[in-house]
Amino acid sequence: MGTMDNASLPIRTLINGSFQPKVAALDMLRIDVLHPVVSGNKWFKLKYNLEEALQNKCTSILTFGGGYSNHLVAAAFAAQQANLASIGIIRGIYATATPTLLECEAYGMKLVYVPISEYKNKQDIHWLSTKVDSLEHTYIVPEGGANSLGRKGAALIGQYIAPEYSHIAVSVGSGTTLAGIHSVVQPHQQLLGFVPMKGGKGLINEINPWLSSPSPANIHLIDDYHFGGFGKYNQPLIEYMNQFYVEHNVPLDIIYTSKMMWGMEQLLQQGYFPNHSRILCIHTGGLQGNRSIAGLLPELVDIQ
């Protein structure tokens, strides 16, 4: 994992002032290009978890995810790099493994499929112990790397965020990345968390305990651009992803970043941002998940 510690990451200008007179900058921080497999925010969330596993003399990690989970692939690969065995508890029974799950197996992850009805028990250590041979010397990483070490890792993203940015946009799943970044940005920097699921604003209740003070004025959860719910999409969103790639040469993912950028464009059009705002959109990665819609993204040839 060490080689990525001081990676310099590109920041790309998406528009300049002449397109959007009110906004002084609309840039994208490409943490998706950090590594081809342990892409985007997942590396940051895993970093200290894996270090902790090694320090605790664990020989394997166990973690959780669905059939297209970005976290699972990243965890499988990173564990292999760290000479740790890995076990993935998979949400749902798949008749045929998805490309994501096959890739996890290729990195040595042992997959344990559990029915969706049982998956909700995943924090119950007794239930878990019935699913695997042994939990001895096994370090458990919560789904999505959503724990304090995950947030500590996500806070490292702050080193790429200049204080000149007035607004920072990031996609939200568990809110781990958002909370980590919030711990290091300045109070004048507004953090826009785009939640790609229905009722996403309610996530603030889960995020609050992770913050230095609850519901800070500079966190804004936006859940208007969920496209029907987590993992749901429609033809206009697909077209938007293709068009975004043609225009900016940046591939977006179907679950998180496409909905964020779509929402961002809506907010720009609605005049949400004050004059002279400088906006940084964080590309959190997740491109491997686009294999769930392979064939629908003719422009994004390199990810199929």
Ligand X SMILES: *Cc1c(COP(=O)(O)O)cnc(C)c1O
Sheet holding 11-15, edge to edge: 11-15, 23-30, 277-283, 167-171, 190-194, 219-222
**Which one of 212-220, 231-239, 240-248, 278-286 is the stretch in contact with ligand X (CB under 6 A)?**
278-286
Per-residue x/- track, 163-192, ligand X (CB under 6 A): --------xxxxxxxx--------------
Residue nearest to ligand X (CB): 286
- Minimum CB separation from ligand X for residue 292, in Å? 13
Interface with ligand X, residue 256, by CB under 6 A: yes
Binding of ligand X by 200 (CB under 6 A): no
Nearest CB to ligand X, comparing residues 173 and 251: 173
Residues 97-126 that bind ligand X (CB under 6 A): none
Piece of the chain touching ligand X by CB under 6 A; list 14-22, 97-105, 240-248, 282-290 = 282-290
Interacting stretch for ligand X, rule CB under 6 A, among 18-26, 50-58, 184-192, 281-289? 281-289
**Which region, judged by CB under 6 A, interacts with ligand X, from 55-63, 104-112, 233-241, 284-292?**
284-292
Q: Are 268 and 298 in contact (CB under 8 A)?
A: no
Residue with tokens 């009110």: 22
**Are 89 and 62 within 8 A, CB to CB?**
yes
Q: With binding defined as CB under 6 A, does residue 76 bind ligand X?
A: no
What is the closest distance, in whole angstroms, from the C-beta atom of residue 39 to ligand X in the complex?
8
Taking the C-alpha atoms of residue 177 and residue 207, their distance in angstroms, rounded to an integer, is: 10
State the residues that interact with ligand X by CB under 6 A: 40-41, 70-71, 144, 146, 171-178, 253, 256-257, 284-286
